Amino acid sequence: MATFKAPKGTYDLIPPVSVKYLAVREAISAPLRNSGYGYIETPGFEDVGLFARGVGESTDIVSKEMYAFETKGGDQLALRPEGTASVLRAALEASLHKQGNLPVKLWYSGSYYRYERPQKGRYRHFSQVGAEAIGAEDPALDAELIILADQAYRSLGLRNFRILLNSLGDKECRPVYREALQGFLRDLDLDEETVRRAEINPLRVLDDKRPDVQKQLVGAPVLRDYLCDACKAYHEEVRALITAAGVAFEDDEKLVRGLDYYTRTTFEFVHDGLGSQSAVGGGGRYDGLSEMIGGPALPSVGWALGVDRTVLALEAEGVELDIPASTSVFAVALGEEARRVLFGKVTELRKAGVAADFSFGGKGLKGAMKDANRSGARFAVVAGERDLADGLVQLKDMESGEQSAVALAELIDTVKARLA
């Protein structure tokens, strides 16, 4: 009988690689937890209309990549392709915006799903850590989020990433630009689907990666020239605050991002060591999204950083994360009585906050010591019947190879002292 495999375009996270992913999630969320962001978790699937309305019918995400299905009860649901719409939906449902203290600052971590052509760095199931600041229109919030993402990447040891920054204008100035861009695009030689896209959301055409399309876009109207005074002033303040914090960025007037809900500030983190899948994260301001999904006007800003892509970026730079061994003490018992006593001691060590493991399966000394070595433990505790009769165990330092006899009654204190 054939064994089952993970579905195409997905992956399993297994030790020792999974530890790296945990470390990346921890590093990305640490600056957020330190800056007033509370943790939120939402379901892996939502009403399909939430994404159709929020993310946008014309986006590839909704039109081509979303896993949509009908339940036995007739509900139309979709696996979440991104995090923002779900987080905003949850915040509105719980009336978090009515409890004073705006903005509502939230962070999350989870898996997202898109039906894409699998390649390195682009999977059908991927992992992100995201942050949203809901209910305040303030350039300092946009700057804060960009600075916190920069801080997260740098804390991991990443250096060769770039921050691209743009403004998409707002409901006052964007329609004027949109019309000018549509006029320009109508004169180009574009395929049928791109023409359709140009009518629904012309900014998405700027994001088209095909060389023949990019060649025709030379001389296209630039959004920067159409920004109203309020949007210009807002964007200048965001730029000034980021610069004052010592965070370098590049202005990129073609940056539009693949979701319809963005307004004003939009940004992307790219890493040149990743080939075509160079974006490791990104985000922006989405002042109209709350109204799109049936809520009140709640100007908001957020980002999502890809855990998978960040791991690839670390590998591209050759950054080795300093991940401590998961086990500090490994107990090796020789004989039945020693098994009983040492298993009890392992439980005591764990209760005392020491990461400890045990040689299971009744292996001999040689096999058990191999296990101790593989565990990465700093110390091995070895005991046979004779040791125990004398009230002793042997404590072996796995780094130096030195071994000394320790009184069984003093084992916990001795181990804690030596580890400290």
Per-residue pLDDT tens over the stretch 338-354: 999 999 999 999 999 99
Contact between residue 202 and residue 181 where contact means Cβ atoms under 8 Å apart? yes
Q: Which residues fall within 8 angstroms of residue 343, CB to CB, at 6 or more apart?
A: 331, 333, 358
Residues of the chain with CATH 3.40.50.800: 329-419
The mean per-residue pLDDT over the stretch 184-196 comes to: 84
Q: Show the tokens assigned to 108.
A: 């999350």
Contact between residue 270 and residue 279 where contact means Cβ atoms under 8 Å apart? yes
Percent of the chain whose pLDDT exceeds 90: 70
| CATH class of the structural domain 329-419 | alpha beta
Band the pLDDT of 23: cuts 50, 70, 90: very high
Alpha-carbon distance 125 to 70, whole Å?
A: 20
Least confident span in 127-141, 148-162, 246-260, 381-395: 246-260
Alpha-carbon distance 127 to 309, whole Å?
A: 9
The pLDDT assigned to 56 comes to 75
Strands lying side by side in the sheet with 300-306 = 38-39, 104-113, 125-134, 300-306, 279-285, 263-271, 161-167, 250-251
The pLDDT assigned to 262 comes to 82
Band the pLDDT of 215: cuts 50, 70, 90: confident
Q: Which residues fall within 8 angstroms of residue 240, CB to CB, at 6 or more apart?
A: none
Percent of the chain whose pLDDT exceeds 70: 98
Q: Which residues fall within 8 angstroms of residue 324, CB to CB, at 6 or more apart?
A: none
Angle value at C-alpha 113, between 110 and 115, nearest 5 degrees: 165
What is the phi-psi region of residue 172: left when phi exceeds 0, alpha when psi lies from -120 to 50, beta otherwise? alpha
Per-residue pLDDT tens over the stretch 59-104: 777 778 899 999 999 999 999 999 999 999 999 999 999 998 899 9
Q: What is the pTM assigned to this prediction?
A: 0.89
Residues of the chain with CATH 3.30.930.10: 17-173+227-316
Number of Cβ within a 10 Å radius of residue 170 = 20
Average pLDDT value over all residues in the chain: 91
Alpha-carbon distance 45 to 328, whole Å?
A: 40
The mean per-residue pLDDT over the stretch 147-174 comes to: 94
The mean per-residue pLDDT over the stretch 47-59 comes to: 82
Alpha-carbon distance 377 to 361, whole Å?
A: 18
The pLDDT assigned to 278 comes to 86
The phi and psi torsions of 215 (rounded to 5 degrees) equal -60, -40
Q: Is the pLDDT of residue 36 over 70?
A: yes
With both helix axes pointing from N to C terminus, report the angle between 17-33 and 307-316 in degrees, rounded to the nearest 10: 110
State the alpha helices, DSSP H only, in 201-270.
203-206, 211-216, 229-244
Band the pLDDT of 290: cuts 50, 70, 90: very high
The pLDDT assigned to 256 comes to 77
Band the pLDDT of 254: cuts 50, 70, 90: confident
Does domain 17-173+227-316 sit in CATH 3.30.930.10? yes
With both helix axes pointing from N to C terminus, report the angle between 229-244 and 139-155 in degrees, rounded to the nearest 10: 30
- Between 239 and 65, residue with greater pLDDT: 239
The pLDDT assigned to 195 comes to 83
- Between 338 and 274, residue with greater pLDDT: 338
The pLDDT assigned to 348 comes to 96
Q: Is the pLDDT of residue 232 over 70?
A: yes
Contact between residue 197 and residue 282 where contact means Cβ atoms under 8 Å apart? no
The phi and psi torsions of 416 (rounded to 5 degrees) equal -60, -40
Q: Which residues fall within 8 angstroms of residue 276, CB to CB, at 6 or more apart?
A: 119, 209
